[in-house]
Chains A and B, each alone.
Chain A
């Protein structure tokens, strides 16, 4: 087991390094002026441009730039953002809490409500509830998240004024308002972005869970369990569901990095200060240091979630480990 684990970790580390090297060079090969964002207000002349290129190392040969980036990563220094003029690590760190909160809430909803609804659909296969949930989840899945977000904001924030239309906190909430008030405020701000993102992602979890459950429910050991006189609920929970979890673990592994950096539209519509919008702005503005900083995080998450998925498989199914 230890050698399998070591081999798998080494593979993950190698994949991470290859991904970073590829990302670095592919990004630099793409056309575009990395100082573009600085010229949205007023153009910069050649002298100022030279100074800025020198400051951000853009005048160095590509290999030197890569060397500086790699040694920076090793030291935990991802450089300075061109657009913000601030250290990349600090910028990313300031956005991580918002991202984790939104991503975590969505994952929680997906893998509680989504799994529960998927199981219910499988158990009530072909019934009215199954058909209604199928139609509803597919409709949500097909809805563009930015449109759904705008509609929810219009309805709940502008028309009914029940929830805030954007941001992560009410800036006018008094600093001495107390923890309960602060938490309520945070929860109120979280509702609409989390609901929007969940609505468009939960369908996948439901569908995968439903089909996995249906497959398991057909297996002979389920028939045996029923023949033994076990209650339907016990058969579903204790015997069927555990074996129907494998495809969902894969989905979980895929969702993890996407939810951290992939909620660009929802973050934009709700002015949610997360990493997704930061990464998108870095990409569209060719802010190389920030772009590489968010890429390091994304690549790390992809590799780590893939590793975690494998580990979870191995933990749940000894056959995988042995193979």
Chain B
């Protein structure tokens, strides 16, 4: 009897799993999407997404929940007033070179049905300009002199100086928050308020729930004034491990993922699937070899090797960047001209980056007194070998592969390079402290080229290599102010930086997204991947997942 019971118990357990397909029938139909991503979004609230909450996942969820006054158009041009599309503001006019007036769309509503008014805009600016709440936004909005309401649906923004990105600053850094829900919350309590756990926005999707460590669920905003979203339910699932994300998409447990991880064979696995399509999307990332201008042993002195511009130029000429990028990223990468990611509009029309010229590199090094006298393959000058260390984080497979190729190609011109692979926090500590010869850096950029000031101007807040060229500073200032031919002005900045070679700009990846073919009208925006999701449509084909369990 015991054996019989055991057998039947086992059979019952085995039968219970497939019979759970009944549960599968209780899943939502095809009008839902599951997106898998690598980060959690615990605070998707504009003005609070700084410091600990500055991760990309927060911004992407916030872009479903909240609209800005105006959004960036398809060209992603941040300079001037022409490249923007209406969102909460149906139009805007320039009263003079220091004043912009926004007409709010009277159809705009918060998710609780309350109209969006100028009071909300004023409230949001007051919070975003408060350094105690949003130090970064407050800096970005430093040229906003005042914001006033003219009735319920007109807002006037005044600036303290003339510059080309006034409209971008006024719309991008302070998306409106609902004053009727938050005005009574003390500013320092905002991050701990109940609103944060159940945000009310104005965007195409409204908040449903968050299961920490697992997913966030959003539902279509039925009253969305720009059009009812076709996809009724959006689930953003978290899987920190890249292989787990890929498995979720390949198994049908997720419909889309935001960056198929290397190696390239993973892209082929997705491409081979008939139910999935791959979509290349320009990334906001640029990777470069940053040359320290200061001696890491004594930061008051110039770097004994890299302080010389001709040596830095020789290092750039020594590298076949196209071949390296092709070898590591295949079709999904390009060589940038200057510190410019594929996201920035100023990359269009920029000159081609220099190609490899090892003969010229050798000549430059020899002309600066670096000669291999002892025949060991490494040049010397006054007894000092031309040997450098490159610091890189051990978490980046792409940078580790590229660093090996750099080492090989430097060696060919007589430059020794030691790879120092470091744990992420240690790498960052050394980088911030200027303790490196060459740092294999990456920058994740916002759509505005003004980000270049931070790293490449003399007083840039993140200029860890202490690069300083007054000409670059003045060109940057000119480009920021340029209201005509801004692109040309920015290209002059890039040309000067390339000539000065404070870094070798090595790669700009193209990210590859995977999306189920159930969805049509699919568009992924480089600056906010899923923000146009509400315009996607869904075919009637049923969701194919692990329906058997």
Chain A residues near B (Cβ < 8 Å): 31-36, 38-48, 51-52, 55, 80-86, 91, 94-95, 98, 150, 153-154, 157-158, 161-174, 177-178, 181-182, 184-185, 187-188, 191, 268-271, 273, 277-278, 281, 284-286
**Given A55-B51, A181-B22, A284 and B424 contact (CB-CB distance below 8 Å):** yes
CB atoms of A36 and B425 under 8 A apart: yes
CB atoms of A164 and B52 under 8 A apart: no
Contact flags B393-418 to A (C-beta < 8 A → 1, else 0):
00000000000000000000000000
Q: List 19 A-B contacts (CB under 8 A).
A: A32-B429, A41-B55, A43-B455, A85-B53, A150-B247, A158-B250, A167-B248, A171-B217, A171-B235, A172-B235, A172-B543, A173-B27, A181-B26, A187-B20, A191-B17, A270-B244, A271-B239, A273-B212, A273-B238
Other A-B pairs beyond A42-B443, A157-B546, A165-B251, 8, CB < 8 Å: A47-B139, A84-B42, A167-B215, A172-B27, A173-B27, A268-B241, A268-B244, A270-B244
Interfacial chain B residues near A165, Cβ < 8 Å: 244, 247-248, 250-251, 253, 546
CB < 8 Å neighbour of A177 from B18, B23, B454: B23
CB < 8 Å neighbour of A271 from B34, B248, B424, B425: B248
CB of A129, distance to nearest CB on chain B (Å): 16
Interface of chain B, main secondary structure: mixed
Output the nearest chain A residue to B244 by Cβ-Cβ distance. A271
Output the nearest chain B residue to A48 by Cβ-Cβ distance. B135
Q: Bound state CA distance, A84 and B51, in angstroms?
A: 10
CB of B286, distance to nearest CB on chain A (Å): 12
Q: Bound state CA distance, A75 and B369, in angstroms?
A: 66
Q: Bound state CA distance, A130 and B34, in angstroms?
A: 47
CB atoms of B51 and A52 under 8 A apart: yes
CB atoms of A172 and B243 under 8 A apart: no
Output the nearest chain A residue to B247 by Cβ-Cβ distance. A165
CB atoms of B241 and A46 under 8 A apart: no
Q: Bound state CA distance, A33 and B238, in angstroms?
A: 25
How many A-B pairs have beta carbons closer than 8 Å: the answer is 209
CB atoms of B54 and A153 under 8 A apart: no
Q: Kindly state the interface size class of chain B when it binds its partner.
A: 35 or more
Q: Bound state CA distance, A178 and B252, in angstroms?
A: 23
B474 interface residue per 8 A CB criterion: no
Interfacial chain A residues near B191, Cβ < 8 Å: 85
**Given A39-B428, A44-B462, A185-B23, A157 and B135 contact (CB-CB distance below 8 Å):** no
From 402 to 460 in chain B, residues with beta carbon under 8 angstroms from any chain A beta carbon are 423-429, 432, 443-446, 451, 454-455
B56 interface residue per 8 A CB criterion: yes
CB < 8 Å neighbour of A32 from B18, B215, B241, B425: B425
CB of B71, distance to nearest CB on chain A (Å): 20
CB atoms of B432 and A33 under 8 A apart: yes
Residue of B23, B34, B429 contacting most chain A CB atoms (<10 Å): B23
Residue of B34, B217, B253 contacting most chain A CB atoms (<10 Å): B253
Q: Which 10 pairs between the two chains have the least Cβ-Cβ distance? A: A45-B461, A85-B52, A32-B425, A273-B213, A271-B239, A184-B20, A181-B23, A268-B241, A188-B549, A165-B251
